[in-house]
Each structure stands twice: as C-alpha cells, then as structure tokens.
C-alpha cells in the first residue's frame, strides 16, 4: 500500500537562521585559523553508506586529508530523514572538527517535521559543493523502457510500481509527488535510510524503481544493470547525455535540481569556516577531483558561505508550496 504523509506545520525559523548564521559566529585571530586543523576532522554523512552523498564526501575527504596532513573521517549516521546525524553535529563542539554533509534535506526537514531535535540556529553554512539532477531508473526486468511507459503503467495500475525512496520526505519524494500531482501516476513508496540500500534493492529486483541522485547510479546505468528513464533537471547530464529530461519526455516545464554541501555547528569561528570553505574549493577545482565528480554526474558549485545561506532562503518557499500541495509530511 502506498505510504502517504499528511502535511503538518512549517518550521521557517530554521531556514531564516541560516542566512544570518555566518554573521553571528565569533571571529578568531588569523593565526588560529592558520594552524587548523591540528587533529582529525570528522564529517558526518546523515545517510547510509554507498549513496551519492557518501561518494562525494569520501572523495573530498581523501583530498582534504592530503591537503591538511590530518585524517578526515567520514561517519555515516543514518535515520529519521537525516535528523539523527544532523543532531550529532548540532551538539558537537563549534571548533571546525565536526562537519555535516547536507543538502536541500535541511530545508525539507524544517518544513516537514513538527519538531526537530536541534535548535533553529544549529548550523553555520560552509559551502555548496555540487548540484546535480535526480534520475528515475528502473530494473530492466520491469519491461519499462521509457518515461512515457512508466507514467502509463502507474496511471493504469496505481501503486503497481514499487519505488524505493532514499529517505522519507527527501527531494526524490517531493519531486515524485509533483509528478503525481501533474500526471495522476501513483506508485508504491518504499522508504530507505539512503540511496545505497535503495539502489541495491532495485538492482536485486526487490523493488522496481528509484528516483535518486544521478551520481549514485551512473555506473549501473552505463553497465546496463539499471535503465534510466529521465532526469529531473531542465538540462541533461553530461555524465549520461542520452537520458532525456522529464520536460523532454512528457512533463513540460518540470525542473528539480538538488545539491549537496557542508555545514559546521553554529558558533564555529568565522575564520575557520572561511578556511574550510577555501580548502574545499581548492579541492573541488583540482582537475582530478572535478573530472571524477563530473563523471559521476555532479556539477561543481562552490561559492562563499553567504552564497549557501542565500540559496537556502530562496528554495524554502518553493519547496514549502510543493510539499503543501502534495500533502507530504513526516510524523
């Protein structure tokens, strides 16, 4: 049976706080930032290992370790749509040694949850690292060859297609609910703690499809183990140029772009936040890393902490409207 979620209240204070968080942290002398880091750094990825967020963070962590001369440890803490991992970082010392990988999930969780385990001013934006499409893929055994056939089956036989969600209330969930609203195509949502396990079950034939960050499944599509139907962005991905956009495949004007970035606990000194930002940008700009990420399906973003804060403010009303219209919420 399809799992549906009722819309609850909007926690807009969390989103608004990101816009000013970078201005509310204490400053430190440049010399203190110069010696950062002088011990291992931990990056919390709030989803299961194996997905796109995990792949991105491990790629960056390896290069940051070399740049800093310190271990950069990636820790996967999945559960509750990323809020368990986020809460760990929110309660960590604000010294730059514990960071959070997150994307639009921070915005979505602020809209979807009645209450969050962390304060509205828990995080300081560091950098938007990449942007990327979501991609709809199916197991070839389903006999579905293109997006039109997918929609036709989901409309003719509602909930006959099982769709693995890489997280309740995530960007994939929101994007597919918009598809449902526009087409009437209904599927049976199966929630997972991340993109890795969601992908494995589609590969194994336990579920029929998933809508997921493109970078999580690029290799499987190229190998023919998964069939790509369409991407959610207004542009095709250079990593899979033959895969049409949903707008091209039957949903004119449809466009959803996701992103992934990094945050520090609120109160982290601005000089350290700026140093982490500069160093991540340095890594992102190296030809080896850029090529690897683009081959996976990511598009390198970058920018200042304030740019990420502004982005959060911009996307909040857009997703709030989409979620309210679709009737999604988390209990």
In contact, 135 and 235? CB cutoff 8 Å: no
Does 133-231 match 12-131+258-326 at the fold level?
Answer: yes
pLDDT of residue 277 exceeding 60: yes
CA distances from 317 to 92, 111, 298, 299 (A): 29, 10, 25, 24
Tell me what pLDDT residue 331 has: 58
List the one residue out of 186, 132, 188, 135 whose CA is nearest residue 164. Answer: 188
pLDDT band of 168, cuts 50, 70, 90: confident
Q: Are strands 209-213 and 123-138 parallel, antiparallel or unpaired?
A: antiparallel
Looking at residues 119-141, what average pLDDT do you find? 95
- Note whether 185 and 159 are within 8 A (CB): no
What contacts 278, CB < 8 A, 6 or more positions away? none
Other C-beta atoms lying within 10 Å of the C-beta of residue 139: 21
Q: How large is the average pLDDT for residues 309-313?
A: 92
Ordered by start, the domain boundaries in the chain are: 12-131+258-326, 133-231
12-131+258-326: CATH, from 3.30.70.1890, 3.40.309.10, 3.10.129.10, 3.40.190.150: 3.40.190.150
Instruction: Report how far apart the first and last C-alpha atoms of the chain are (Å, whole number).
Output: 18
pLDDT exceeds 80 at position 315:
yes
Q: What is the pLDDT of residue 8?
A: 37
313 CB-side CA count, 13 A: 13
Q: Per-residue pLDDT tens for 206-242?
A: 999 999 999 999 999 999 999 999 999 999 999 999 9
What does the pLDDT read at residue 17?
Answer: 53
Q: Is the pLDDT of residue 22 over 80?
A: no
Average pLDDT for the chain: 90
C-alpha span between 291 and 108 (Å, rounded) = 30
Predicted confidence band of residue 9 (pLDDT cuts 50, 70, 90) = very low
Question: How high is the pLDDT of residue 293?
Answer: 96
Candidates 322, 271, 323, 299; CA nearest to 112 is 323
Kindly tell me if the per-residue pLDDT of 13 is higher than 70.
Answer: no
231: β partners: 135, 245
Question: With 70 as the cut, is the pLDDT of residue 10 above it?
Answer: no
What is the CATH code of the structural domain delimited by 133-231? 3.40.190.10
Weakest mean pLDDT among 56-60, 111-115, 265-269, 281-285: 111-115
| Cα–Cα nearest to 143, from 229, 230, 245 | 229
Report whether 281 contacts 39 (CB < 8 A). Answer: no
CB-based contact 262:276 (threshold 8 Å):
yes
Say whether pLDDT at 113 is over 80. yes
Cβ distance 97 to 314 under 8 Å? Answer: no
């Amino acid at each position: 049976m399809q799992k549906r979620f009722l819309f609850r209240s909007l926690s807009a204070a969390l989103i608004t706080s990101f816009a000013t968080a970078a201005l509310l942290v204490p400053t430190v002398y440049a010399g203190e930032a110069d010696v950062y880091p002088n011990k291992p750094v931990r990056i919390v990825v709030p989803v299961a290992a194996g997905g796109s967020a995990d792949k991105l963070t491990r790629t960056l962590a390896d290069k940051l370790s070399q740049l800093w001369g310190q271990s950069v440890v990636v820790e996967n803490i999945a559960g509750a749509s990323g809020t368990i991992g986020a809460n760990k970082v929110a309660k960590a010392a604000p010294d730059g040694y514990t960071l959070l990988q997150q994307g639009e999930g921070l915005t979505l969780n602020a809209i979807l949850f009645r209450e969050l385990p962390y304060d509205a001013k828990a995080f300081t934006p560091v950098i938007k690292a990449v942007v990327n499409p979501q991609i709809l893929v199916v197991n070839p055994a389903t006999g579905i060859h293109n997006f039109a056939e997918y929609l036709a089956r989901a409309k003719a036989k509602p909930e006959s297609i099982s769709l693995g969600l890489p997280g309740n209330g995530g960007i994939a969930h929101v994007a597919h609910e918009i598809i449902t609203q526009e087409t009437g195509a209904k599927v049976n949502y199966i929630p997972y703690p991340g993109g890795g396990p969601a992908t494995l079950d589609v590969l194994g034939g336990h579920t029929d499809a998933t809508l997921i960050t493109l970078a999580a499944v690029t290799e499987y599509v190229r190998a023919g183990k998964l069939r790509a139907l369409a991407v959610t962005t207004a542009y095709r991905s250079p990593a899979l140029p033959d895969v049409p956009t949903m707008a091209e495949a039957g949903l004119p004007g449809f466009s959803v772009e996701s992103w992934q970035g990094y945050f520090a606990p609120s109160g982290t000194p601005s000089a350290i936040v700026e140093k982490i930002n500069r160093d991540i940008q340095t890594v992102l700009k190296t030809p080896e890393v850029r090529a690897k990420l683009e081959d996976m399906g990511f598009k390198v973003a970058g920018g200042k902490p304030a740019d990420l804060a502004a982005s959060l403010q911009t996307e909040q009303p857009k997703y709030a409207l989409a979620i309210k219209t679709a009737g999604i919420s988390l209990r």
